[in-house]
Amino acid sequence: MLIPSQPPSRPIGRFAPSPTGELHLGSLTTALASYCHIKSLNGDWLLRIEDTDTERCDQQFSEQILIDLEALSLHWDGDVVYQSERIDIYNDYLSSTLLPLTYGCQCSRKSLEQYWERKAIVETSNLQNANQKLLNRQRYPRCCVDASLNKDQHKLRIQLPDYSIGFRDGIQGLQWDNPQQTLGDMVVRRQDGMINYILAASLDDGLQGVTHIMRGLDILPMTTAQISIMQAARLPAIEQWYHLPLICNPNGQKLSKQNLAQPIDTRDPSKLIAHALQLLQQPLVDMDTPARMLEQAVAQWDNTPLQGKTSLNIPNSYIPNP
């Protein structure tokens, strides 16, 4: 049985990138904000590489992320944790504490498509309504919950609670969500053994004693699932959540690897830090070495300008790689 770390004596935050590409301005602002915020509380900032998805992650990107963070003087505390080296830990939880909540599932994407199609047509009087209903589908209809399928030979789902869970978000305000209604029973391990993000991140945040999570708003819908999984695994609860507004290009489109956001260029790290701080609506810092700029940014860190915002637009005037 794994023993989680003792309740920490100081705040612990983390940056947890998935190495499916290089850092872009969006992921950089998450790194910078979580660093400045936790350091302003005299806490530790951990770096965890979320590389369980062997198809999408690449070691080259992991290495580049470390190089970029170093170039910006965003130095992490302790050793880098690689989730790909912790698969046994996740599987141990699945076969012990979390076992009663998991079940094998044989539904393929295609069979679910057909299920939803049939259901939408039966439940609605015409095809247009059915199509509308199909667009709204999201959660797994629990077809396999009582099928007692072999857990090692099928993908594994975890039962999420069907009640509302609330948490206070330091940026987005009070949040309530019912994870069963929003997400349904999530897949935690694929049939090929690959561990999914929600399980690995939930367990690691608990096992690493993380107290403060600051991350992108795109992950907010998964937070009540994470809270439930951490609770079921008997891991200490996260004390404070913060979901940062998404960084959008001047056309209002969210920066992401999917829409080919440009990798950051660390040849002029001070300028990059100044720009990211400006984007995060922080007080100005003097142009200096990255380390000294960060020191000032930490001393001045303020969540207030971000509160209630869901997006931040990169100004038209910003030229990433002059």
Window contacting ligand GLU (CB under 6 A); options: 14-22, 119-127, 260-268, 283-291: 14-22
Question: Which residue of 50, 51, 185, 204 would you call a contact of ligand GLU, by CB under 6 A?
Answer: 50
255 scored as a contact of ligand GLU (CB under 6 A): no
By beta-carbon proximity to ligand GLU, the closer residue of 217 and 277 is 217
Give CB contacts under 8 A, 24+ apart, made by 108-112.
112/140, 112/141
18 contributes a contact to ligand GLU by CB under 6 A = yes
- The answer to whether 244 contacts ligand GLU (rule: CB under 6 A) is no
Residue 215, interface with ligand GLU (CB under 6 A)?
Answer: yes
Nearer to ligand GLU, 39 or 154 (CB): 39
Cβ at position 16, least distance to ligand GLU in Å: 4
Tell me 107's DSSP state: -
Q: Which of 201, 210, 246, 285 is close enough to bind ligand GLU by CB under 6 A?
A: 201
Closest approach of Cβ 33 to ligand GLU, in Å? Answer: 12
Tokens of 196: 């999914």
Residue 67 makes CB contacts below 8 A (sequence gap 6+) with: 266
Nearest to 65 by CA among 24, 98, 106, 29: 24
Instruction: Output the smallest distance, CB 205 to ligand GLU, in A.
Output: 8
Site string for ligand GLU, 164-183 (x = CB under 6 A): --------------------
- Among 87, 219, 248, 298, which residue sits at the site for ligand GLU (rule: CB under 6 A)? 219
Question: Which of 249/296 has CB closer to ligand GLU?
Answer: 249
DSSP string, 254-287: BP-TTTTPPBP-TTSHHHHHHHHHHHTTPPP--S
d(CA 241, CA 168): 7
Nearest Cα neighbor of 312 from 264, 257, 243 is 243
Give CA angle at 292 (282, 15), nearest 5°.
60
Rounded Cα distance between 229 and 227, Å, is 6
Q: Beta-carbon neighbour count of residue 176 at 10 Å?
A: 9
Q: How many CA atoms lie within 13 A of 249 on its CB side?
A: 13
Nearest approach in angstroms of CB 21 to ligand GLU is 9
When the beta carbons of 214 and 232 are compared against ligand GLU, the nearer one is 214
Applying CB under 6 A, among 12, 16, 217, 227 the residue interacting with ligand GLU is 16
**Contact status: 87 vs ligand GLU (CB under 6 A):** no
Binding residues for ligand GLU, per CB under 6 A?
Answer: 16-18, 50, 201, 215, 219
